[in-house]
């Protein structure tokens, strides 16, 4: 009887062994998952979150593309080719805006005759305007390219282009029009420069991870940069990104002081930028967040400010020109910079004024300048980290 009991116990113990092995294996898997989570959490602590904010058309997405080109592997051929349809669409949209704008100016301006497209080109204009209204654009062919060039060179279209600030003409207009032949080649592959000029509105959120001095964390800080749509209807998507931000990079297109919003043609773009910057500065979640202000599109600003008075903008009403040429450009830039500095200190609570605030003059299309700017941003943020760690 005893032997039977012992046999039963032995068989019970032998049956238990596989379960114990399974438990051990499961525990090891759980431990490995925990270790992986711990490693990833530790790694995440070394990644600094940068938020790229600004109104629509401020150049944020061009900055974002520059980061990909400068500090990552850039665009492979498949990615470059994916921009072909975007670039062709930009061409069609531009010529439509210009032709429709010429018709509007011809009806409403006192010197209307100079905006009247020649009889020979009117049918061409109507045809291209219709194509520009479609949801799907045809690829550029040599025939269509020649028609676009003919219309572009019409004196009325050139006069209209000179009034581009009131017509939402994209900044890429002249660049693409000057490169039409190349853009319409059968084997066309967009260049990196073409991609930088390509305009497509950002919707949702895109992100990129990079280090301004190399991929290795030993050689510099690692950043995760988030770009979000700048148009008003996209801004509701910003809020969930506001937590845990190391620095806000706010892009302000200083050349747009005489332009109106795409989504609201009664609102001056610079006034919108001012109000948006003020709102972002007052967010409680940014109490300890560094602010990097990019005064962008300086290349356009330096040409425009010599022709279009800065005080045409309500915010700059008190501006007084002092000189001409480069001296006037610098004087105007310093005035704009001071306005943003004053806004920063007016909108920042006294206990927050010691947070990092830097202003950089930028041209998003200038790769060398963007690279230099981000290395300065990197140095500023690394210094802040050392101060917070008590090492400086």
Residue 385: both structure tokens together: 């980290």
Contact (CB, 8 A) for 333 and 321: no
Cα–Cα distance measured from residue 32 to residue 42, given in angstroms and rounded to the nearest whole number = 15
Cα–Cα distance measured from residue 375 to residue 242, given in angstroms and rounded to the nearest whole number = 24
366 noted as active-site residue: no
Residue 236: both structure tokens together: 């509701």
Query: Quick check: helix, strand or coil at residue 375?
Result: helix
The residue to which tokens 């940068």 are assigned: 50
Is 206 part of any known ligand binding site? no
Is 202 part of any known ligand binding site? yes
57 noted as active-site residue: yes
Is 336 part of any known ligand binding site? no
For residue 261, give the DSSP letter: -
Contact (CB, 8 A) for 184 and 141: yes
119-132 vs 142-152: helix crossing angle, rounded to 10: 120
Burial class (CB in 10 A: 0-12, 13-18, 19+), 146: middle
Is 231 part of any known ligand binding site? yes
Of 185, 167, 191, nearest to 93 (Cα)?
Answer: 167
Distance of CA 248 to the CA centre of its chain: 13
Is 297 part of any known ligand binding site? yes
Is 367 part of any known ligand binding site? no
Please pick, among 93, 94, 199, 302, the residue that the annotation labels catalytic: 199
Is 171 part of any known ligand binding site? yes
Burial class (CB in 10 A: 0-12, 13-18, 19+), 316: middle
Element of type H or E holding 296: strand 290-296
Is 60 part of any known ligand binding site? yes
Cα–Cα distance measured from residue 94 to residue 164, given in angstroms and rounded to the nearest whole number = 10
Tell me the β-bridge partners of 249.
52, 292
Residue 386: both structure tokens together: 């050392």
Is 78 part of any known ligand binding site? no
Is 198 part of any known ligand binding site? yes
Is 118 part of any known ligand binding site? no
Of 364, 387, 367, nearest to 249 (Cα)?
Answer: 364
227 noted as active-site residue: yes
Is 45 part of any known ligand binding site? no
Please pick, among 84, 145, 191, 231, the residue that the annotation labels catalytic: 231
Please pick, among 154, 194, 221, 227, the residue that the annotation labels catalytic: 227
Is 201 part of any known ligand binding site? yes
Is 364 part of any known ligand binding site? yes
Is 123 part of any known ligand binding site? no
The residue to which tokens 């770009």 are assigned: 227
Is 66 part of any known ligand binding site? no
Altogether, the residues listed in the chain come to a count of 392
Is 384 part of any known ligand binding site? no
Strands 47-54 and 290-296: unpaired
Is 220 part of any known ligand binding site? no
Is 125 part of any known ligand binding site? no
231 noted as active-site residue: yes
For residue 283, give the DSSP letter: -
Residues contributing to the annotated binding site? 57-62, 171, 196-202, 227-231, 296-299, 364
Residues contributing to the annotated binding site for GTP? 57-62, 171, 196-202, 227-231, 296-299, 364
Give the residue numbers marked as catalytic. Answer: 57, 62, 199, 227, 231
Residues contributing to the annotated binding site for Mg(2+)? 61, 202
């Amino acid at each position: 009887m005893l032997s039977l009991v012992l046999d039963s116990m032995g068989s019970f113990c032998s049956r238990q062994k596989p379960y114990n092995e399974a438990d051990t294996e499961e525990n090891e898997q759980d431990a490995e998952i925990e270790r992986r989570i711990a490693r990833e959490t530790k790694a995440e602590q070394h990644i600094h979150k940068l938020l790229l904010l600004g109104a629509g058309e401020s150049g944020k997405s061009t900055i974002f593309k520059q980061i990909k080109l400068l500090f990552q592997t850039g665009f492979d051929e498949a990615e470059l080719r994916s921009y072909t349809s975007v670039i062709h669409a930009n061409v069609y949209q531009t010529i439509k805006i210009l032709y429709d704008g010429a018709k509007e100016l011809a009806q409403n301006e006192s010197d209307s005759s100079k905006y009247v497209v020649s009889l020979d080109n009117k049918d061409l204009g109507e045809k291209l305007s219709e194509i520009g209204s479609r949801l799907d654009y045809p690829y550029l062919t040599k025939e269509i390219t020649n028609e676009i060039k003919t219309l572009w060179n019409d004196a009325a279209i050139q006069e209209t282009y000179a009034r581009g600030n009131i017509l939402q003409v994209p900044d890429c207009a002249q660049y693409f029009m000057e490169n039409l032949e190349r853009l319409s080649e059968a084997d066309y592959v967009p260049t990196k420069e073409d991609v930088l000029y390509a305009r497509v509105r950002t919707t949702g959120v895109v992100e990129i991870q990079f280090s301004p001095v190399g991929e290795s964390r030993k050689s510099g800080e690692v950043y995760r940069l988030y770009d979000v749509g700048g148009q008003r209807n996209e801004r509701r998507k910003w809020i969930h990104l506001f937590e845990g931000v190391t620095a806000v990079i706010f892009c302000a297109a200083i050349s747009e002081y005489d332009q109106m919003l795409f989504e609201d043609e009664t609102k001056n773009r610079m006034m919108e930028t001012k109000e948006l910057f003020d709102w972002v500065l007052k967010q409680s979640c940014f109490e300890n967040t560094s602010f990097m202000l990019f005064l962008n599109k300086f290349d356009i600003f330096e040409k425009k400010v010599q022709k279009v008075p800065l005080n045409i903008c309500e915010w700059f009403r008190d501006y007084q020109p002092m000189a001409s040429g480069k001296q006037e450009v610098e004087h105007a830039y310093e005035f704009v910079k001071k306005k943003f500095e004053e806004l920063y200190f007016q909108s920042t609570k006294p206990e927050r004024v010691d947070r990092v605030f830097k202003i950089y003059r930028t041209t998003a299309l200038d790769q060398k300048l963007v690279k230099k700017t981000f290395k300065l941003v990197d140095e500023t943020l690394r210094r802040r980290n050392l101060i917070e760690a008590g090492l400086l």
